Every structure is written in C-alpha cells, then in structure tokens.
Structure 1
Amino acid sequence: MLQAQAISVEVGGKLLVERASFTVMARDKVGIVGRNGAGKTSLFKVLGGENEPAAGHVLRKGGFGYLPQDPKIDTALDGRTCVTHILSGKGIDDEMMRMEKLRIAMEENPDERNVSRYIKAEEMFRTTGGYSAESEARAMAVGLGLPQDRLDLPLEVLSGGERRRVELSRILFAGTDVLCLDEPTNHLDADAKNWLLQYMRQYKGAMLVISHDLDLLDEAITRVIHLDRPDENAVGEIFEYKGTYSQYKRARAEDEARLTKKAAQQSKEIARMQGVVDRFGAKATKAAMAHSMEKKIARLETTRVNAPRNQKTFNVRFPPPPPCGETVITGTSLCKGYNGRAVFEDIDFDLGRGERLLVLGLNGAGKTSLLRILAGETEADLGDFEFGYQVQSGYYAQEHDNLRVNESLLTNIRDSVPRGVEMDDSHLRGLLGMFGLSGDKVFQDSGTLSGGEKTKLALAMLMTGKNNLLLLDEPTNNLDPPSREAIANALIDWPGAIIFVSHDTEFVKELEPTKVLLMPDGDLDYFSEEWLELVEMA
C-alpha cells in the first residue's frame, strides 16, 4: 500500500501541489496524468522517496520499487554485469558473491570447517531458488528487449536506453508490493511493451505509473489521478477517476464541460450583483440592500470555480538552414564495438541536401552509437565519415547528455550558442518560449525539469546553431501528444537534412524519410511504408 497524507510538492521555491491525499491499495493500477510541466514527475519523486514533501507524509507498506524517468546506475560498481545488477533486486548477487568466496576458501584450504560452510551455503542457495533466479532474471530482461548476448556485458558498455531496461528489469524482478514507474515504456519496442503490459495486468501489488503510451494506460489502468495545473503560477489540484484511461477521458471531458458552464453562470451572477452594488451603493435608501448584495458576492467568490483551460499548445519553427553542398554527409566502412565485441561493421551511407535518413534496427543494433559518432561524441573503431561543403550539424541526444543539470534553462541555452554567433538573452528566451518554457521557468534548475520539459529544452538548444543537418535520437520521447505534434509539424516544414532514430510510427510517417539505414548490417534502401512495421518493432 502507498498513502499520500496531505502532501505538498515544491520545486525551486514554487508550490506545485498542496495538501494532496490519496491511497493506492493492492491490485490498484493508477495512472497519473496531466500536461507536460504540470508536476507529475515532481510528485512522483516525492512518492518514490527521491525527494521529501514540503508538507505532509508518504506512507509505504511492504517492499517498494521506484523507476524514475532518468535512473542513475553506478556503471562502475564492481564492474557488475547486467544480469548481476538485475539479481541485486533480491540481494541474490550478494549471496552469489558469498558462495564464491566460500568456494575459493574451500579450494585453498579444504578442511572440514571450510567444506561444511560451503555445503551449507550452497544448500541454502538452492532451496531458496537461487539457481532458478538467474534464469528468471534473464527471461525478464529478454522480455523487456535486452538480447541474451548483452546480459553478461558490464553495465558501463550499454547505451542509456539499455541501462534503463536493465534497471526496470531489476525493479520488476525484486517482486515488491508497490511499484512507481515513470515512463516505463521509454526505449521499449512493440514486443517489450506487450510483455510489460502482460506483467502489469498480472501484477498483484499497488502500482502507480506515468506514461504517454496511451495504449498501455488504457489496457492496464484501473484508476486515474489527474494533476490539473494550467500554468506555471498555479498550484495543482488532484482529481481522481475510476476506470480505464478511455473512461477517464470521457469523464474528464464531461467534468470540464460542467465546470465551464458553472463558471460562466457564476461569473454572470457576480457581474449582475456587482452592477446592482455599483448603481445603488451610494444611495442612502439602498445602502442596506447594496451591503447585503456585497456579502452575497463575497460568499459566492469563496465557492467560485475556475473554468478549465485548454491544454497549452505551442508553435515551433526551426530556423532556415544555411546553404551547403549537394552531399551533406558520407559514411565509409564505419565500425564500432565494446569490450572486443562488434556492434556494427562496415556501415556505408550517404545523404543529400534536404534528404531524411531513418536509422532502423532492433535494440542493441548500434543506432545510438552511430549517431554519437556522427555527432562527435565518440569515435568509430574503424572507418570514417565526412561532412559536405559548409555543413553544420546539431545533435539531440535521447538521454539529454548535453544538459547541465545544476544550471538554469537560460544558462544551458546560452552555453549552447556556437562561438561567433551573437544571441542576446531576449532572443534566447524567445526560443525557450516557443516550447512553452517561459517566465520564471527559464531560471529554474534544469535538473528539476520533467522528461518532457528536458526534451523541449534540448530541442530549443538546437535552434541556436546555424544547422543544415540535424541528428535526432528519439526526439519525441517524453512528449505529450500536443507537444509531439508541434515538433513533428516543425520538422516536416524544415528543408534541411535529418538523420534520425525513432520508435514513433506516426512521427516517422509524418517526416517522410527518403532513405532507411538498417542496423547492424548497414543495408541502405529507399523508404516505403512497408518499413513502418519494423519501426514499431525496433
């Protein structure tokens, strides 16, 4: 069970939620919804124990598992492998290490004491399911899209998306009584999403989830908590709805229509009574009536409802690309591997001015590794690539690696301005404002942003460069539908060249790629709608 007892959530001195209370019992599967920036992730950090509430208490009973939007895993921890990290969810890694020490001690000195200690430890490990646990952990990781041959690699060689799936596997493997999962489907392909959906259906504990994957919410959720915070200066309100996500949407639409009507009626009545006060308040014979009317207005104001505001939308426009040569980039015999294992070999491709290249492949095929090489974030083991005449590239990293989490939004975008380019703060604030990041928000620590807001900040930072080639790694992750649509529309109209990775079928369809590069084999082909099936699977 998880219980929020009159909790208040505060970020950077700003109150996001005040005195919210709710309880999540076993078998409850609760979706927390609200627009980007409403405070869902900040609320989740309090529920998950990552941050303390500004007021109130969070009560957790039983084992507790928490997946933040950006889980931090110590990749250098004892050089542990993926499967060892997953096993740590139940402390089995420690038991295995203890057995290994006892085995070494027995081999070095096989006296009766050492032999007896090892036998007892091995018997206990077997009877408590230690040996079967590893196969269970591996099956869970494979279900979440991690290939078997990646599970014995050190965590440090995995991509950010792979490490996130390992952490999700560890949390689910632990078998806790309460789960808090923030965007659990990020980086999952269609098969992995289906596996997770089946797990959620069968899970018997209490579960809270934030997700922009509406299909997941619709099938798995039994209750919805709507966090309504219409703008940056408002304090959020909690509204609860029973049923699936689709049922919530219908009920929410009815509530909004009712509240809108009630707010209009109240405003009309207040205006009518205030008109009476204004006309007769100065007349001695009508003063008592006017005073009585003022009391009625005051009482009505205390129960006044605010009409729901439409979800905030924004209009993004990328700056026009500067002129460049006909060929934008050429890759020749590119190879990359980790710990002696090749991820991809002999990758050849080329891209012309204004063309769009979709990089496709299953998890672990090297899509992110290729984009990081092209962005200059890492180097190829073999091979090379060459930009065309006057080509300037901008890179969006799916893990937001280029954000400085202890600096404000304004400082981040200011530091992203290339040398030799002049942009004052008013211009930079205008770029942030295009993404709905305005007002005092620009002074907020970027580390406190939600995943969707980090995505918007990173995209805004792309606009400070004179780019005619964009390298985009999952640019729609964490975005709510209106934001995703705004980004897609901006890129559709942008005439520069794009190399991108995406699991978002609709986004890929809208961008109309001209070419497809299939990883890790390096097959280059012209795009057709037949490739969309693989987009969802990849």
Structure 2
Amino acid sequence: MITLKNVVLRRSAKVLLDSANVTINPGEKVGLVGRNGAGKSTLFALLNGTLHEDGGDFYVPPQWRLAQVAQDMPETDQSATDFVIEGDTNLLAAQQEVNAAEATDDGERMANAYMALFDAGSGDAQARAQALILGLGFKTTELDNPVNSFSGGWRMRLQLARALMCPSDLMLLDEPTNHLDLDALVWLEAWLKRYTGTMLVISHDREFLDAITDVTVHIETAKLNRYGGNYSKFEDMRAEKMEQQSASFAKQQDKIAHLQKFISRFKAQASKAKQAQSRVKALDRMEKIAPLLAEAEFTFEFKEPANLPNPMLSMSDATFGYPPPEGAPEGTGPTVIVQKVNKSVLAGQRIGILGANGQGKSTLVKTVARALTPIHGEILEGKGLNIGYFAQQELDVLRPADTPLEHMIHLVKETTAAGKLAGQGTREQDLRSFLGTFNFSGDMVKQAVGSMSGGEKARLVLCMIVWQRPNLLLLDEPTNHLDLATREALAMALNEFEGTVMLVSHDRALLRSVCDEFWMVSRGGVEPFDGDLDDYQRYLLDEAKRMREAAKEAGKTAAAAPAPVVVAAAPVINTKAIQRDLDKIDTEMAAMQLEKDGLEQKLADAKNPHEIGQAGKRLKKVNADMAALEERWMALSEQLESAGAMAS
C-alpha cells in the first residue's frame, strides 16, 4: 500500500503539504481533487520519484511497476503502432536482452532471453497496441502513420495509449481526458474500469471521476482528506461539512435567489418553459455544489442580451467544410465535412452538439461563428445577431504576444468599427476594472498571453465574450483547462444566460446541466438526437463494437461482394487474383500458426539450453513472417473493399 505519514512537501518557498497523512490500499482507484495550485501534480511527482518529501515518511512498494502519461510532445518518425508498443517496458527490455544475447552467441543466455520475450507478450503486442490506438479514436488507416504526421492533440492520445500499454501495478493519470472527444472518453472509462492495479487520477471531469473512482482524496489547506466513494459522494459529504460556514451559505443563497427569480419570471410563458426548466435543474444542484462555488477562482454572469432575434439564424441546404489548401493543384476542390444542413436556431434554445471524433462538430460551430464560409447553401442571420465564440484552441482567437489589456482595447476598436453596442465601459480604466472581475489584476493585465496557463487563457476568452453581451454563445470545448470549481461557475452562468447556447463538450456534467436538446453530427449530416446522454453513450459503445466487428469481417464480406462494374476512367481491379492471394495467405498463416503453437509448447517443455535457443530463434522468425503476411492480407483486403465500394 501507499502511505504518507506527516509528510511535508514544498515547491520553492510554498508549502503544499504540511503534516499530511493518507493511506491508499492496493487496487483502489483514487480521484485526486483540489483547487488549481493546491499541489495535485506535485503529489504525483512525489509518487513517481521526481520529487522527495521535505519531511515525514512516504512509502510506495518498491516492486510496484509504474505507468504514467508522458507530458512531453513526442517527436519521432516511428509508426503509431511501434511507438505505442514501446510503452510496454517489460517487452522492450526483453527485446533488448534478446538482441544482446544473440550478439554473444551464448546458447543458455539466448534461451532465457527468448523465454522472457515470450512471457512478456511479444506474440500479441501489436494487436494489443492497435486495440488501444483504435479505442482512442484513430482510424485503421492511421495505424502505420508516423507519429510526427499527427497534430499535437493526437500525439498526446498516443502518449496515453503508450501508458495504457505498460504493464503496471500503479497508474498515475494527470488530466487524461483533455485531448479526448466523448467517444474516446467513453472507451477509456470502460478500459480503466477493467484495470486491476492501483490508480490515481487528476481530472476536472466529474462524470469521468464518478465512473472510474471509488476513493476521493481532497487536498485542502495543505492536508490530504480521504473520502470513501466517488466524486459525487465526496461532494455530498463535503457539502454537509460546510453547511454551516457562513461565506459558503451566503454565496449559495445569492445564487438560489437569482435562479429562483428567473424561474418565477418565465415559468408561465410557454416560449420560456424549457429555459425555466433548465434553471430548475440548476437549482436542484445548488445545495451540493455550494462548497465548489465558494472555492471558484471567480464567478461571473452573462449580461442580458440587448436583443433576441428569432430565429437567431437559419441554415438552408448548407454544406460545411474547408477550402483547398494554399498551393493545391488547380482544380482541387474543397473538403466537404457536413452537407445538406437545413436547421434553424431559435431564441432561447440550448443545444448540445454530439458526434464521434472527426464527424464535423467543430466545423459546424466554426461556420456558424463565421470563421469558415459555407461551401454551398447559406446561413441567414437574424437582425442584431451577436455571437460570442469560444474556440476549442484558445490561441485560435488570442494573440500570444499581446496582453489581456491589449486584447480588450483591440476588442473595443473592433466592436466600435462594426457599429455594435459595447458590452461594458470602453475607457482603459473601465477595461482594467472589468479584467479584474476575471482575476486579471495588477501586473497580469500587462502579461503576454503566450506565457499564461491554459486556464488563464480560457478565462480571458470568457472575459472577452462576456464583455460583448452576446445573444448567441458558441462554445467549443470550453472546459478543457478549467478546474472543477470554475466549471461549476460556468454552468451556473450559462443557466442564467437568457440568450441561445450551442455547446460542444466532452464534459457530460456540463451538457446535462445546460442543454435541453441535442443535435447529432454524423455521416455527413446534422439531425436531432432523440435521447439523453446515457442513450448517446450506449450508442457510442454499440457503434465502436460494430466497427470492430466490421473490421474483423472485412476480408470475408469483400470476398463475397459481386464483381465490380468498371467504368472507363476507373482502374481495373482483378478481384479473382486478389482473392487467390488472400486464400494463399490464409493457408500459409494457418500453417505458421501451427508451427508457432508447436514452438511455444517446445519452449515451455524443453530443458536443453541449445534446444531452447534454436526454438526461440525460429519463433522470432515465424512471428516476423506472420506479421508481414498480416500486413499483406490487410492491404489486399482493402483493395477488395475498394472494389466492392466501386461496384456499389
């Protein structure tokens, strides 16, 4: 077990833990929570050996194997599959020993090395790695792509897969969901539920914590407080503790009064009934989240919009996507992501936008936000539409060299030039004061944005949006860098907002709290999703299962497909020849599998070192040959699948 007894932990002059005590038992799955800066990541550094305690006693069983997600951006031309396989440190060490043993020509050492390699799982390493990669949202066609060919967020997914690949007794996960869409997050939850080791997780996603943890450790006032149960149970128990604390109670009562006022004002109006109902949901949650709101770095509200056009906007036979890249050959067309969209967005709607990774959620939001132009069709905007847009990557709308004050001054000039009504005062002192309400005070107003943390950048974007007094909020993953307390503050502000909300998020608690209806972006279109988030999670799991089964059956279904009708411009594909090659490979692989089974049995039974060494060498060769045949089989199957697609 892991024990901390009277542990003192400092970072520079700041004391993060002072006489802290906690015990974590083998197999427990622990959520580590606390305010930003409380010391969560520093405690991880103690657990992984990067830091040492400044006082007290700290113990982790020395024989425990550790797995954690590397925070650096990988730079390598290795294939995605090979990069993830190397996360299996046992397998990597065994392979290195085999290479060293083969160089010595020592039969006994080679025998032991081959046995260790076999025991480390060399036979199914590729399959295990690729299952992790596909589970985290990659396509089958990307398995062999170089790591450097992926964007930063996808590379971090590979770092996560690499950590999951590592056999471990202790797993440390620091914000593992930050770069995931909801479909990959649901898969990760299912995987972590099956994990048998001890696990500590830092996350600001309450539903993720609820799904995978059974213990919560809260860092508060330099102490470690252990609570039995997941995050929601911790929240309930802590709310009881704080019930009598006057500051928390007063803040709670102010919020309740504000929400109650909205409910009373609009509950009798049919056009506002849905909005009033969402505020009722928020009111129901107020009692338990009062402690969190008291902890928030700041709380805020969206000002009442100057007007509410209805409809806000209408999309007519609209096609969304991206124009050809600069320098593309003449005649290159745009990349179409979503097409034939006919939807209206009404005043007061609160729409959650769902869809698996890569289906076009962000493309839809960017187009509505005017960051992209529709490829076909049109978007008609209501008179007086005023959009507040939170981009998925804050730097899409922030200038790294500018300060928060310069951003606000620039925003004032843009707003004035566009003839829009300013949201707040426009003098420099007014802007400084407004920034102060979002915790940008003193020297921070003149700090370059590029040097700020993700949470600070997110705060600045929210500040700029609130100042504009929008009537339509477009929020694309607004919570990625927000802690739990600030997420709750955002949820409350959105529930009090009287305009329209369109929200893309993998934070299910935020979606549940804010949204009254859902749109599904899938298979190139946008349709209403008839169900709640639980239905959507079941849909995602079923869809993932369907895709895995379809991939397994790809060869069989392709072989049974009718001969393609070849048009003049299409290349002729000899499906009969391809099928003959596939059949031949199947026969060869069956024979190799029999030989492999025999060699593995021989390794298990043999006593003579020379015999073991020879069997190990042959097994290595058979595994390599089978891998090559599998790649050839996949390539031929894809050709057959293409032929079937052309025929249809």
Q: What's the TM-score once normalised by structure 1's chain length?
A: 0.63
- Separation in 1 of the partners of 2:522 and 2:72? 27
- Separation in 2 of the partners of 1:369 and 1:219? 30
Q: Report the counterpart of residue 8 of structure 1 in structure 2.
A: 10
Moved more, 485-494 or 187-196: 187-196
Larger relative contact order (Cα-Cα within 8 Å, sequence gap ≥ 6): 1
Does the C-alpha gap of structure 1 residues 344 and 139 become closer, same or farther in structure 2, counting only changes over 3 Å? Answer: farther
- Separation in 1 of the partners of 2:207 and 2:8? 31
The 5-angstrom pairing of residues 92-241 of structure 1 reads 128-153=120-145, 155=147, 162-186=154-178, 187=180, 189=182, 192-193=185-186, 195-196=188-189, 199-200=192-193, 202-205=195-198, 207-218=199-210, 220-221=212-213, 223-228=215-220, 236-241=221-226
- Separation in 1 of the partners of 2:147 and 2:489? 35
- Separation in 2 of the partners of 1:406 and 1:51? 31
Q: Report the counterpart of residue 333 of structure 1 in structure 2.
A: 319
- Separation in 2 of the partners of 1:495 and 1:258? 32
**Matched position secondary structure for 2:358:** coil
Deviation at 1:476, TM superposition (A): 3.9
Is 2:207–2:509's contact at 8 Å kept on the other side of the alignment? no
Does the C-alpha gap of structure 1 residues 40 and 150 become closer, same or farther in structure 2, counting only changes over 3 Å? Answer: farther
**Matched position secondary structure for 1:224:** strand
For residues 2-42 of structure 1, give each alpha carbon's deviation from its aligned partner in whole angstroms, at most 9, with x where no partner exists.
787521135xx86655575767575343321224x353555
Is 2:171–2:197's contact at 8 Å kept on the other side of the alignment? no
Is 1:505–1:532's contact at 8 Å kept on the other side of the alignment? no
Deviation at 1:164, TM superposition (A): 4.2
- Separation in 1 of the partners of 2:318 and 2:137? 29
Q: Report the counterpart of residue 456 of structure 1 in structure 2.
A: 459
Q: Report the counterpart of residue 534 of structure 1 in structure 2.
A: 536
Counterpart AA for 1:27: G
Q: Report the counterpart of residue 87 of structure 1 in structure 2.
A: 85
**Matched position secondary structure for 1:317:** coil
Structure 1 position 65 matched with structure 2 position 51: no
Is 1:39–1:227's contact at 8 Å kept on the other side of the alignment? yes
Structure 1 position 32 matched with structure 2 position 32: yes
- Separation in 2 of the partners of 1:86 and 1:154? 12
Deviation at 1:365, TM superposition (A): 2.0
- Separation in 1 of the partners of 2:372 and 2:37? 36
**Matched position secondary structure for 2:87:** helix
Deviation at 1:135, TM superposition (A): 0.6
Q: Report the counterpart of residue 361 of structure 1 in structure 2.
A: 355
Does the C-alpha gap of structure 1 residues 329 and 180 become closer, same or farther in structure 2, counting only changes over 3 Å? Answer: farther
- Separation in 1 of the partners of 2:473 and 2:446? 27
Unaligned runs of 5+ in 1: 99-112, 114-120, 229-235, 261-306
Counterpart AA for 1:470: L
- Separation in 2 of the partners of 1:334 and 1:50? 49
Structure 1 position 491 matched with structure 2 position 494: yes
Does the C-alpha gap of structure 1 residues 148 and 478 become closer, same or farther in structure 2, counting only changes over 3 Å? Answer: same
The count of corresponding residues between Structure 1 and Structure 2 is 458
Candidates 389, 392, 410, aligned match of 1:395: 389
What is the identity percentage for the equivalent residue pairs of Structure 1 and Structure 2?
Answer: 25
Is 1:146–1:165's contact at 8 Å kept on the other side of the alignment? no
**Matched position secondary structure for 2:356:** coil
- Separation in 1 of the partners of 2:453 and 2:435? 15
Counterpart AA for 1:333: T
Structure 1 position 500 matched with structure 2 position 492: no
Moved more, 391-400 or 250-259: 250-259
Counterpart AA for 1:211: S
Deviation at 1:344, TM superposition (A): 5.7
Q: Report the counterpart of residue 273 of structure 1 in structure 2.
A: none
Is 2:338–2:360's contact at 8 Å kept on the other side of the alignment? no
**Matched position secondary structure for 2:11:** strand
Does the C-alpha gap of structure 1 residues 365 and 250 become closer, same or farther in structure 2, counting only changes over 3 Å? Answer: closer
Unaligned runs of 5+ in 2: 97-104, 106-112, 247-290, 417-425, 541-648
Is 1:391–1:468's contact at 8 Å kept on the other side of the alignment? yes
For residues 228-276 of structure 1, give each alpha carbon's deviation from its aligned partner in whole angstroms, at most 9, with x where no partner exists.
2xxxxxxx3213325323665566456657999xxxxxxxxxxxxxxxx
- Separation in 1 of the partners of 2:81 and 2:372? 26
Counterpart AA for 1:208: L
Is 1:9–1:42's contact at 8 Å kept on the other side of the alignment? no
Is 1:492–1:511's contact at 8 Å kept on the other side of the alignment? yes
Counterpart AA for 2:473: L
Is 1:316–1:434's contact at 8 Å kept on the other side of the alignment? no
For residues 397-422 of structure 1, give each alpha carbon's deviation from its aligned partner in whole angstroms, at most 9, with x where no partner exists.
33434487977984585477264448
Is 1:44–1:180's contact at 8 Å kept on the other side of the alignment? no
- Separation in 1 of the partners of 2:54 and 2:401? 26
For residues 349-403 of structure 1, give each alpha carbon's deviation from its aligned partner in whole angstroms, at most 9, with x where no partner exists.
35446355543212332323443455566788x5576573665544323343448
**Matched position secondary structure for 1:227:** strand
Counterpart AA for 2:477: E
Counterpart AA for 1:6: V
- Separation in 2 of the partners of 1:44 and 1:385? 53
Counterpart AA for 1:39: A
Does the C-alpha gap of structure 1 residues 238 and 175 become closer, same or farther in structure 2, counting only changes over 3 Å? Answer: same
Moved more, 38-47 or 453-462: 38-47
Q: Report the counterpart of residue 634 of structure 2 in structure 1.
A: none
Structure 1 position 417 matched with structure 2 position 416: no
For residues 255-307 of structure 1, give each alpha carbon's deviation from its aligned partner in whole angstroms, at most 9, with x where no partner exists.
657999xxxxxxxxxxxxxxxxxxxxxxxxxxxxxxxxxxxxxxxxxxxxxx9
Higher helix share: 2
Moved more, 121-130 or 85-94: 121-130
Deviation at 1:148, TM superposition (A): 3.9
Deviation at 1:170, TM superposition (A): 1.4
- Separation in 1 of the partners of 2:373 and 2:312? 22
For residues 199-244 of structure 1, give each alpha carbon's deviation from its aligned partner in whole angstroms, at most 9, with x where no partner exists.
3553324x3212244455456445433222xxxxxxx321332532
Higher strand share: 1
For residues 52-109 of structure 1, give each alpha carbon's deviation from its aligned partner in whole angstroms, at most 9, with x where no partner exists.
78967998856543348xx5524xx3444433332232369999x99xxxxxxxxxxx
- Separation in 2 of the partners of 1:259 and 1:327? 43
- Separation in 2 of the partners of 1:45 and 1:454? 24
- Separation in 1 of the partners of 2:456 and 2:177? 18
Candidates 456, 462, 470, aligned match of 2:473: 470
Counterpart AA for 1:502: S
Q: Report the counterpart of residue 271 of structure 1 in structure 2.
A: none
**Matched position secondary structure for 2:132:** helix
Counterpart AA for 1:243: G
**Matched position secondary structure for 1:463:** helix
Does the C-alpha gap of structure 1 residues 123 and 248 become closer, same or farther in structure 2, counting only changes over 3 Å? Answer: closer
Is 1:353–1:496's contact at 8 Å kept on the other side of the alignment? no
Provide the aligned C-alpha RMSD in A: 5.5
Q: Report the counterpart of residue 607 of structure 2 in structure 1.
A: none
Deviation at 1:133, TM superposition (A): 0.9
Deviation at 1:521, TM superposition (A): 2.4
Counterpart AA for 2:394: H
